[in-house]
Chain A
């Protein structure tokens, strides 16, 4: 140990081992995730003028995206479709997930087996799920017909994925079918954390299953409802694989199932006669980022504050 008095002006050097521990993760994360997102936002503010040359146009690309028919119509169409996609998830996936979680929380015999089976679609690739459903819903195979005929519902034997009016709804439900396991597990985790005494007390008061759900379970899982909603939101506004796998990059029929992810892909890479445009593609990604940030902000400001107030 040095006997010299500590020099007051010099700070202790930053401990080397902390740097060693942090650098690899920070380096990869910054270089491959944060930097590309920022670079992409920067690209969206530029426009290519010639091979290898581009100049700063400010919000010009965004103005073009929102103000010219060529770009604005598909964008609003995709945004509207994406919103429908999200609403179907909120109305179908999350309530069904909650119902399944409540059923699993009864701790029936075989609950673990039910849980394993119910979560199975979630681990499959979206592409595979999309294609499997495409086959099953294809009138050419006839699976759908042989299921509907005994029920005298032949009228429902339609090419659900091929009609402009039903394609998006059908795709949303396929996605719901696949992803219902996630809200189910998150809700179940919240339900099993509820202390046993609360149930006991309710039972002593003669409360039925509905009252227990309404008065005990629902209030205590409200924070999870928020998390599930925000996860659904981010996942839905970032979706691409399912639509691409089932309907192709053109998100047919006639763009009826076009969502922001497929629009981003087409704008970036081009399709048919329109050539790809990296800057406009980056601008579409910028719009997606904006939508997701707005959603996150609403969640953080409006929902979380309200829930914490309820809790305390």
Chain B
């Protein structure tokens, strides 16, 4: 948007060239491929068993519409609880990641002190080395802390997993905040904690980006819920859905309904946050 405004002269728009028609065509084809499984699952979850098999590509009509799958789901497993667990884990981890990472990023970007570079390097190990490789150690740690089958175990693991990238992104944004502002506040006698609180709203886009990129792997993870919190009371939606899908493999109504329930919330969140997400992944290059 801004780019066109900067252009000194309006570029004469040629009619649709063959290149742009081909590009549209290719993009549309790929969009169909990207949406096909999602649409198939959601659409068929509202159809009766007969039409799921006889006419998989047909939209549900009043005569084929049914909520049988969702009913099976409601009877068989506690999906509202699983959903709530996922929400608590995701929001709890995100809040902790944003809080502790912004504090650390502020210290690393604001002050020059001994070990500054060393600490930054130490934190960046976690960007590249996957936390899953420490699973055996994490499991032993959680057992000795009596946190197995609690949501706290997951929140702690996801926070640790999210910190490195969050610190990295936030400190590079915080370096861009003008110095005068902080100096003025210091002259007015503001404490360093006050200055941190002052900076936070200024890096809001970065906080949004960090939230968006950290959110998806947390919500979607299967590995740690499976190992650390497999209990009926602490299952997340992905683990709950995965267990349910394994059990009801042949009940297409139920399976499609479970898949739909797992797909819809995250797609809705994505549509709302896609701008932050895209700018987070691309370091602000795309908006």
Cα A133 to Cα B40 with chains together (Å): 10
Q: Does A157 contact B (CB under 8 A)?
A: no
Q: Mark A117-136, 1 if CB is under 8 A from B, else 0.
A: 11111111111110111011
Residues of A within 8 A of B52 (CB): 141
Cβ of B81 under 8 Å from chain A: no
B161 near A33 with CB under 8 A, answer yes
When each residue 1-39 of chain B gets 1 if its CB lies under 8 Å from chain A and 0 otherwise, what string results? 001000100000000000110011011101101110110
Question: Within the assembled complex, what's the spacing in Å between the Cα atoms of A141 and B256?
Answer: 12
Q: How far is the CA of A193 from the CA of B282 in the complex (A)?
A: 11
Bin the interface of chain A by size.
35 or more
Using CB atoms, name the residue of chain B closest to A131: B245
Our pick among A26, A40, A127 for the contact of B238 (Cβ within 8 Å) is A127
A37 touches which of B53, B99, B133 (Cβ 8 Å) = B133
- Find out whether the CB atom of A241 lies under 8 angstroms from the CB atom of B222: yes
Q: Are B242 and A37 in contact (CB under 8 A)?
A: no
Q: Are the CB atoms of B141 and A31 closer together than 8 Å?
A: yes
| Contact A32:B159 (CB < 8 A) given known A25-B104, A128-B238, A241-B222 | yes
Please judge, given known A-B contacts A25-B100, A282-B136, whether A141 and B259 are in contact too, CB under 8 Å. Answer: no
* A106 with B286: CB separation less than 8 A: no
B101 within 8 A of A: yes
CA distance A101 to B270 in the complex (A): 20
Which residues of A in the span 54-76 have a Cβ within 8 Å of any Cβ on B? Answer: none
Which residues of A sit under 8 angstroms from B3, Cβ to Cβ? 196
* Chain B residues, CB < 8 A from A289: 129, 133
Whether A240 sits at the interface, judged by CB under 8 Å, is: yes
Set of chain A residues within 8 Å of B30, measured between Cβ atoms = 100, 118
A43 touches B137 (CB 8 A): yes
For the complex formed, measure the closest distance between the CB of B41 and the CB atoms of chain A, giving whole angstroms: 5
Partner-B contacts on A (CB < 8 A): 14-15, 17-18, 20-22, 24-26, 28-29, 31-40, 43, 99-100, 103-104, 106, 108, 110, 114-129, 131-133, 135-136, 141-143, 146, 177, 182, 185-186, 188-190, 192-193, 196, 209, 230, 234, 238, 240-241, 244-245, 248, 261, 264, 268, 278, 281-282, 285, 288-289, 292-293, 296
